[in-house]
Structure 1
Amino acid sequence: MNNTTPIIGLAGGIGSGKSTITKCFNAIGIQSVDADDVARFVVKPGSDCLSQIHQHYGDSILLKDGSLNRSALRTIIFNEPKERLWLESLTHPAIRKEIQTQLNNTSSKYALLVHPLLFETKQNTICQFVIAIDVSSEIQLQRVIARDQISRENAEKIIATQLSNSERINRADLVLENSGNINEMNAKVITLHEKILELLVC
């Protein structure tokens, strides 16, 4: 583990605005590692994870170009809890290893670990501080439905597998409320960034 770059966790459920907030941090020079990006990386064509997923589910889980059919996989794992557990047992160790590799290559004042399941996967244990995104469940639902073109029922199932907003906030060190426009978010991130720098000195 790279001890020269402190790690700050950014925890927020699906549809909480993690990507937008991360860009605000990136704009002020803070490097980030996004667990969602890593999750896509570890199942890319030719990966061991994708090979095992293919063996487990068959050709229906692949698109014509050989990449993972995420929509088909999502339908399976959110309707069959045992399948979700199987998939997590396969991918989570690979994701954890790749996250650490990428964090080791950061060099900003601190690195942001962006993770929808930060506490659930115990990745918070490698963070010096954790920021929880505060957003209403209704806003989350609307964002997920619009972005992923899925039903409200399926969006609710996805959100139900994650910690609630209040649970995440209770376990975090810092809270970032995500409402309003991008200018307001930029201002909030700059204020929070200054607070983090103060905490890291203490």
Structure 2
Amino acid sequence: MGKPLVIGLTGGIASGKSSVAEGFSQLGVPVIDTDAIAREVVAPGMPALNAIKARFGNSVLDATGQLNRRALRNLIFEDAQARADLEAITHPAIRDLALNRIAAADAKYVVLVVPLLIEKGWDRLVDRVLVIDAPESTQKARLMQRDGISAEKAQAIINSQADRSSRLTKADDVIHNDAALESLDNEILALHNKYLSLTTT
């Protein structure tokens, strides 16, 4: 089997990316989640963790030698250069591992989940962009409930990402995740059949 069709799945925070990814997974489609890969590449013994330690010092490690994510977040929160340095270490490692998994997938198509697909230029690595879209009011309510945060904090997080219109202009396909779960399942199945048909033409 040749290289699979790569579907880049993205969407704003609390839009339902995980639910949609799980739906594709249940249909037997390989799902490659860059958030999960991001945790793998900074595991103890991995080159990226050694580079992070060299750049930021031992304060970003916990007592067991694992990455202390909170300490690292605090260091880069308001330091653009530190954030850029971290991304220069982690992003190539994440991209390389993701591409390796795509190449190894024995499937007609794969779903690559990248929250900041458009913002970070990952759309250039995929064949089609699938945007999970939800009204901002829905995102906000889900975020407040999920993370137990204030309306102001939720709005600030939403504002820090690309706006809906920017994402939608890049979309080849859109799932509107603002209705019942049954409707979501139907949208996923329809796209599944579409992607399979694209691989046989």
Indicate whether the TM-score tops 0.5: yes
TM-score by length of 1: 0.86
Kept after mapping to 2: 8 A contact 1:78/1:158: no
The whole-number CA distance in structure 1 between the counterparts of 2:151 and 2:53 is 28
Residue in structure 2 matched with residue 101 of structure 1 by the alignment: 100
Post-superposition Cα deviations, 1:51-103, rounded to whole Å, max 9, x if no partner, equal 22223323332223221122232233232222211111111111110100111
Identity of aligned residues (%): 38
Q: Which moved more, 1:12-21 or 1:127-136?
A: 12-21
Structure 1: gaps (5+ residues): none
Deviation at 1:135, TM superposition (A): 1.6
Provide the aligned length of Structure 1 versus Structure 2.
Answer: 201
The whole-number CA distance in structure 1 between the counterparts of 2:10 and 2:23 is 15
The whole-number CA distance in structure 1 between the counterparts of 2:80 and 2:103 is 34
Post-superposition Cα deviations, 1:132-154, rounded to whole Å, max 9, x if no partner, equal 11123343344445545666666
Tell me, yes or no, if structure 1 residue 164 matches structure 2 residue 153: no
Tell me, yes or no, if structure 1 residue 20 matches structure 2 residue 19: yes
The whole-number CA distance in structure 1 between the counterparts of 2:76 and 2:159 is 13
Amino acid of the structure 2 residue aligned with 1:189: I
Structure 2: gaps (5+ residues): none
SS in structure 2 of the partner of residue 190 of structure 1 = helix
SS in structure 1 of the partner of residue 104 of structure 2 = coil
Q: Which moved more, 1:126-135 or 1:143-152?
A: 143-152
Post-superposition Cα deviations, 1:134-188, rounded to whole Å, max 9, x if no partner, equal 1233433444455456666665555444322221111110111112333321111
- What is the root-mean-square deviation of aligned Cα atoms in Å? 2.4
Deviation at 1:116, TM superposition (A): 0.8
